[in-house]
Structure 1
Amino acid sequence: MDMNQYLDMFIEESKEHLQSINSNLLLLENDPTNIGIVNEIFRSAHTLKGMAATMGFEDMASLTHEAENVLDLIRNNKLQINSDIMDVIFQSVDLMEGMVYNIIEGGDGSADVSALVGRLRAIVSGDLTPAPSKPAAGSAAADAIAQADEQAETTEEAGREHELDEYSLTVMRQSQESGHNLFWIKVSLREDCILKAARAYMVFDALENAGEVIKSTPTVEEIENERFDLSFEVVFVTEKSQEEIHKAVSNVSEVDQVLIENVNLKSEQAQAPEVKPQAAAPKAPVAEAKAPAAADAVKKPSASKTIRVDIERLDVLMNLFSELVIDRGRLEQLAREIGKSELQETVEHMSRISGDLQNIILTMRMVPVEQVFNRFPRMVRDTAKELNKKVNLEIQGAETELDRTVIDEIGDPLVHLLRNSMDHGLESPDVRRRSGKSEEGMIQLKAYHSGNHVFIEVTDDGAGINKDKVLKKAIERGIVNPATADNMTDKQIFELLFASGLSTAEKISDLSGRGVGLDVVKTKIESLGGSVAVDSSQGKGTTFLIQLPLTLSIISAMLVQVENEKFAVPLSSIIETAVFRQDEIMLAHRQKVIDFRGRVVPLVSLKEIFGIPDNGVQKGDDVAVVIVRKGEKMAGLVVDSFIGQQEIVLKSLGKYLVNVFAISGATILGDGQVALIIDCNALIK
């Protein structure tokens, strides 16, 4: 069978399982006695192993199998977790991730796993703590069920595949007597089901979250190796209702039918070696006759609420809709010029419909920042060990959504800021203890919406920024004139951290001191149409604040005219538009400025900046100005006139026009003209 058609599904699900394993390993490291977490990791690893084996990625399957053996010992209390074991498992997960990304890049997913396989086997063959003793008859149902699971596995390995031993039957009777429900469940997969073993294990995962599987037919081993048709049966003990179990199993994708019936061990059938479903009680047919719809509901799985869509298809959809937005603007202009009411009404209706469609498409492209944030706890854990520091990472607002194009780009800047907080911000445990702080430093990663922007904060409770040290380094590097250094505010000094080549590290390490400072972060964030600022309090900590646009594809802008040229200024950068008289314009240090609400704001002439030729039309005495901002700084863009607000499609200038000063792209207007989009961040210095 050709597996290439299933490769995308394998890659996406593998990434999800690896992320889940990473997250749960971090939880387990802080709570090593929590067997529930170990079970979660084991299930993800088990599913990943089955998927890899089915797809033919043997190295990944063998490595996952050995890691699974270690996890199995841990969850059965035969092995105590320590830092060495955690490190080996983490390294195994890293190698699995590397293999997945090798597959993404077109490789065969192979890797040298021999060293890690050897270390995992050494852990398994080491001195093990004794297994817990078998509980006496009459103990709590949960303990009995746990022992029954081990006993059932032993029975299956011995080849008694279709029988339940007396011990298991005793446990099941005790469970039923104590109020637990005992069900016989038959699960049928769809005929077009792919990765049967993985789907089957997802069913077992759903069941084990709700109770305990006592018996499966075929055996677990046969299901793992896909030695079954499209259905399997289990005997299951749970406190939950039949409806809850049916819903949980039906939610697994590619499950075609779920049949659930009660098992009555008090009947004579219970004495038979093979457990059968309970015979229908006298009232059952009556209930079926009254509610046939309910009976049908048991046989049909609930419809899936989500589908996977290749992001490239969404990109194509967005590009096609962008062309519609351009044509919409053209139609609106033609309707105004022609003036026919019927045409105007039709165009207005089309504009409303296309506006709703635009919102839906933009929403489809929005993804939670959780996709980026999820990888940071593991990175913080590793970096903290490297620095011999204790760090607690607190994440808030992970559900905040951003456009996919922005999400793809913010990962590296955030990594840089987090590493900076751990290396420069947080003190060592000894220093923190001497200063009266907790040995464990805190880093908070927070995301939230505000208007048409998303804000991301990286805050630490470290030593704060040493202003004198930053200023001294800046003077040494020639970034600041010593004559003006004394008059700089705290905010201005903090901003120096974003200057190119400025590093306050005392020594070169893998993390810092190589002259690659926060200017990299600033450049990347500004290329996304955002901004970054920093605030700090000596001895208390530092906060970096990133402001990002919600989307980069379709933006609201103010269209302005300069001579014969039209420009678009993003509304997110505009504070206000105003008209000033010539006598209100002043000179300060040979720079034209205006008084805007008590602040001196420099004027920037777009005509001079872009060298636009004069069209010979006589200008009036008044000066039209667009007040824009970049963080705390402001500037006034001098234009000839304001055209109006419009939603525009952001288009790149192409590979031949890269790094054009103060231009972030272009758009096509309704009359077919091209308008350049102003990059206000580049104009404000």
Structure 2
Amino acid sequence: MEKDEYLEMFIDESNEHLQALNDNLLKLEEKPDDLPIINEIFRSAHTLKGMSATMGYEDLASLTHQMENVLDAIKTNKLEATSVLLDVVFEAVDHLEAMVQDIANGGSGKRDVKEVVIKLEKIEKGELVDEVAATKIPEKTIGNEIHSYDDFELTVLSQSAEQGFNAYRLEVSLREDVILKAARVFMVFEVLEQVGEVIKSTPTVDQLEEENFDLSFSVTIVTKETETDVRARVMKVSEIEEIKVTKIDTEEIDQAQGNSSNVDEEKTDELVEGKVQGESENKPETEQKTAQAANKTIRVNIERLDSLMNLFEELVIDRGRLEQISSDLKSNELTETVEHMSRISGDLQSIILNMRMVPVEQVFNRFPRMVRGLAKDLNKKVNLEIIGADTELDRTVIDEIGDPLVHLLRNSMDHGVETPEIRRNSGKPEESKITLKAYHSGNHVFIEVIDDGAGINRDKVLAKAISSGVVSAENGPNLSDKQVYELLFSSGLSTADVISDVSGRGVGLDVVKNKIESLGGNVTVNSTPGEGTMFSIQLPLTLSIISVMLVEVQAEIYAVPLSSIIETAIIKKEDIMAAHNQKVIDFRGSVVPLMNLTNFFEVPVTKEEDEYYSIVIVRKGEKMAALVVNSFIGQKEIVLKSLGDYLTSVFAISGATILGNGQVALIIDCNALIK
């Protein structure tokens, strides 16, 4: 058998079975005696084992077989599906995901799984599950040193490297005659917080505070400082015997991030798919109909859809050109033909865009497992409710929203929801609730992360923002609650009392805001003290073809995305006022800064100033600006083209488009304009 011929199908179907295992194991934890769930888990594992053996991936098949033995013991009531036992099964699934990912990346799928196999064998033989589960599993490695980083930490390291930060791992050894170990650790952290952001500590912060370690510990930080400077600063702390500083290489971070990334997320890069084909045996008629519908779908390589989209974008440009020619020639026959072609191409555009749409379920699927693990780490009881997982987004947007949502969920887990004791004392149920919700509204998709925790402490956020220099002590008290909450998105601002392994490092929400705005969306936060917090993300349905307002700036034409426009207006020259050396206007009771695009883009002046100004009011979240133009041309659907590799840093320009008359129009990035 030609293995390569079936490799893509094997990877895709393996990912489906692994996701099914994750989902059903979480359900089994809630309902340990539910036989249909156990049967589904067993079926997924059995199919995965058979496929792996057929393709020649013996390590994968062997581990699945061992896991299958434990599942069989649960199925026959020889073992009870306790949370501790399922921890071990989840460890096995993590290894399986890593092996499949390695195969997808061109590897052999081999992996050292001796430790988890020993655990599974001991459990199968009836040894005490609690003792077996406590056996240490080797951690992920970066370089040749053992040091575990989860997906969130790898993301922070990767993004920090992109922004020019250095990442170091510090091995700190205290002297044998040290008196207060915890105090020395605190002083080390104080020094490090002055030069950068702490990403990880081993042992954990809690263990260090309790002096539950020998004489050495390690800390990972990101900083602009050099290795020598970091070492010199830490060595100023007394009673330190030695410090070893190792720079973490960017390539190693990317490699570790690739190896540990969730398989389901990677799946969207490879294939666009229909529904999973279900088995019809012993299922109700409605489920059989669903399975029959799934059989009518085909999998298409995403590169083919990208090529189709590129060709259609060229067609849209030619359509605009034909409309322009038709208008100039005033030929009825040509006009009718062009109008018919426009209707047909509009329908074709709708079909192509729908083909590229992927349910957000592709991203949401990995979060229940993540929340389960975090809840255990934080000693919190959390119920994650997912609503609207079938809401669809363009594949290019889907690829980018995973990391921002991880940040928001971790933030809700750590800062939002309280511990069971605090909730009980507040008269709340011990189990907190986090809701992940997606829905369509117009040409946008909204994703909300809602928790029923303690809400945001306005005074605490404001005090931190003032001490961090984000706002001045004079302006702070005048801010509204909503404006104070928005300060959470400021770079480096964290309200955590102590750094934890989950958050509180001042890295996170600013990354979320930057990522969402780079996708043409925005993120807002609302909170009610004592009741909870809601983060709301607004995203465009697609990034390829957008609606714009075409405007004239002297002899040039610019495009302003409709999603950023509040309205257009014409004002008199005397309506313009001055405030803090900035021209402003009064727009419905709000003071809005005025920006003349002729001056801003240094466009050659070809038209004299008039007593009337044409303005476009644009917004970015709560902030607004009025753009002065010479005239409005009208609304248009245009194809967004990048400026290429040589023009990557053009400020306030997100791309360009070709108009019907062949002229190039630059597309204004309103998010960059409003700072």
Q: Please state how far the C-alpha of 1:676 moved relative to its aligned partner.
A: 1.1
Q: Partner residue of 1:471?
A: 462
Q: Displacement, 1:204?
A: 11
Q: Which moved more, 1:2-11 or 1:376-385?
A: 2-11
| Other-structure match for 2:338 | 347
Q: Give the whole-Å Cα distance in 2 for the aligned partners of 1:100 and 1:575.
A: 48
Corresponding residue number in structure 2 for 1:164: none
Show the 5 A alignment for 1:34-433.
34-126=34-126, 206-207=280-281, 209-210=282-283, 304-433=295-424
SS in 2 for 1:482: coil
Matches within 5 A, 1:631-646: 631-646=621-636
The alpha-carbon deviation at position 250 of structure 1 amounts to 12
**Gapped runs of 5+ residues in structure 2?**
130-275
Contact between 2:620 and 2:674, CA under 8 Å: does it hold in 1?
yes
Q: Is the 8 A contact 2:416 2:533 kept in 1?
A: yes
* Residue in 2 that maps onto 1:679: 669
1:663 aligns with 2:653: yes
Distance 1:417 1:554 in 2: 29
In the aligned structure 1, how far is the partner of 2:436 from the partner of 2:413?
13
**What do residues 435-484 of structure 1 show as CA deviations (whole Å, max 9, x unaligned)?**
11111111011111111111111011111111111111111111111111
> How many Å apart are 1:105 and its aligned residue?
1.4
Letter in structure 2 aligned against 1:78: K
Alpha-carbon shift at residue 491 of structure 1 (Å): 0.9
In 2, the alpha carbon distance for the partners of 1:324 and 1:4 equals 35
Offset, 1:515: 2.5
Supply the AA of the counterpart residue of 1:453: H
Which position in structure 1 is the counterpart of 2:541? 550
1:607 has 2:607 as partner: no
SS of the aligned residue for 1:655 comes to coil
Cα gap change, 1:2/1:561 in structure 2, threshold over 3 Å: closer, same or farther? Answer: same
Tell me which moved more, 119-128 or 539-548: 119-128
Q: In the aligned structure 2, how far is the partner of 1:371 from the partner of 1:250?
A: 19
Query: Residue by residue, what CA displacement relative to the aligned partner does 1:316-374 show, whole Å, maximum 9, x if unpaired?
Result: 10011001101111111011112222111111111111111001001111111111111
Is the 1:17–1:48 contact (alpha carbons within 8 Å) kept by the matching residues of 2? Answer: yes
Shift of 1:640: 0.8
Distance 1:331 1:504, change over 3 A: same
Q: Which residue identity lines up with residue 440 of structure 2 in the other structure?
A: H
2:492 is aligned with 1:501: yes
Aligned-pair CA distance for 1:203:
11
2:37 maps to a residue whose letter is I
User: Does the Cα contact within 8 Å between 2:28 and 2:81 map onto a contact in 1?
Assistant: no
Instruction: State which of 467, 478, 481 in structure 2 corresponds to 1:487.
Output: 478
Distance, in Å, in 2 between the alignment partners of 1:601 and 1:303 is: 53
Distance 1:303 1:446 in 2: 25
The answer (yes or no) to whether the contact 1:425–1:541 under 8 Å persists in 2 is yes
1:621 aligns with 2:611: yes
**Among candidates 513, 527, 551, match of residue 522 of structure 1:** 513
Structure 2 distance, partners of 1:406, 1:251, is: 28
- 1:595 matched to which residue of 2? 586
Aligned residues of 1:626 and 1:638 also touching (Cα < 8 A) = yes
Shift of 1:128: 11
Q: What residue number does 1:580 align with?
A: 571
**Is the contact between residue 427 and residue 462 of structure 1 (CA under 8 Å) also seen in structure 2?**
yes
1:517 Cα shift?
3.1
1:76 and 1:36 mapped to 2: Cα distance?
Answer: 13
AA in 1 matched with 2:36: G
| Counterpart code for 1:680 | C
- Equivalent-residue separation in structure 1 for 2:328 and 2:500 (angstroms): 66
Task: Summarize the Cα distance change of 1:24–1:251 in structure 2 as closer, same or farther, 3 Å threshold.
Answer: closer
Q: Distance in 2 between matches of 1:368 and 1:350?
A: 31
Whether 2:550 is the aligned partner of 1:559: answer yes
Aligned to 2:263: none
The whole-number CA distance in structure 2 between the counterparts of 1:606 and 1:250 is 55
Q: Give the SS at the match of 1:465.
A: coil
Shift in Å, 1:249: 11
Is 1:23 the counterpart of 2:23 in the alignment?
Answer: yes
Q: Which amino acid aligns with 2:380?
A: K
Secondary structure at 2:319 match in 1? helix
Q: Aligned to 2:14, what secondary structure does the other structure show?
A: helix
Task: For residue 333 of structure 1, give the secondary structure of its aligned residue in structure 2.
Answer: helix
CA contact (8 A) 2:652 2:669 kept: yes
Query: Aligned equivalents of 1:127 and 1:490: distance in 2?
Result: 56
Give the deviation of 1:61 after TM superposition: 0.6
Distance 2:387 2:639 in 1: 32
Q: Report the Cα distance in structure 2 between the residues aligned to 1:509 and 1:650, rounded to whole angstroms.
A: 42
420-429 vs 332-341, which deviates more?
332-341
Give the letter for the 1:521 counterpart.
V
Deviation, structure 1 residue 303: 9.7
RMSD: 2.1
> What corresponds to 2:222 in structure 1?
none
- Secondary structure of 1:593's counterpart equals strand
Q: By how many angstroms is 1:618 displaced?
A: 2.4
Contact kept? 2:277, 2:294, Cα under 8 Å: no
- 1:323 aligns to what SS in structure 2? helix
CA distance in 1: counterparts of 2:581 and 2:277, whole angstroms: 75
1:571 aligns with 2:542: no
Tell me what 1:449 maps to.
Answer: 440
How many residues end up aligned between the 2 structures?
A: 529
Q: 1:203 to 1:682 in 2, by over 3 A?
A: closer
Distance 1:551 1:382 in 2: 33
For the residue of structure 2 that corresponds to 1:122, the secondary structure is helix
Q: Aligned partners of 1:375 and 1:251: how far apart in 2?
A: 24
User: For residue 296 of structure 1, what is the aligned residue in structure 2?
Assistant: none
Between the aligned partners of 2:650 and 2:401, the Cα distance in structure 1 is 23
3-state SS of 1:483 partner = coil
User: TM-score scaled to structure 1, two decimals?
Assistant: 0.75
Determine the C-alpha separation between the residues in 2 that align with 1:607 and 1:370: 45
Q: Deviations over 1:207-259 (max 9, x none)?
A: 3x34xxxxxxxxxxxxxxxxxxxxxxxxxxxxx8xxx69x959968xxxxxxx
Residue 53 of structure 1: CA displacement?
Answer: 1.0
| Alpha-carbon displacement from aligned partner over 1:302-322 (angstroms, at most 9, x marks no partner) | 993110011111111001100
**Structure number with bigger Rg:** 1
For 1:496 and 1:424, the matched residues in 2 are separated by 15
Separation in 2 of the partners of 1:518 and 1:97? 29
Question: Does the alignment pair 1:8 with 2:11?
Answer: no
Provide the secondary structure at the position in 1 that maps to 2:475: helix
Map Cα deviations across residues 51-109 of structure 1 (whole Å, 9 max, x no partner).
11111111111111111111111111121122221011000111111111111211111
What is the deviation of 1:33? 1.2
- Give secondary structure in 1 for the equivalent of 2:300: coil
Do the aligned partners of 1:498 and 1:522 also contact (CA within 8 Å) in 2? yes
- What amino acid does structure 2 have at the position aligned with 1:71? L
Structure with bigger RCO (C-alpha 8 Å, 6+ apart) = 2
Classify 1:125/1:370 alpha carbon distance in 2 versus 1 (closer, same or farther; 3 Å). Answer: same
The one-letter code of the counterpart of 2:648 is: V
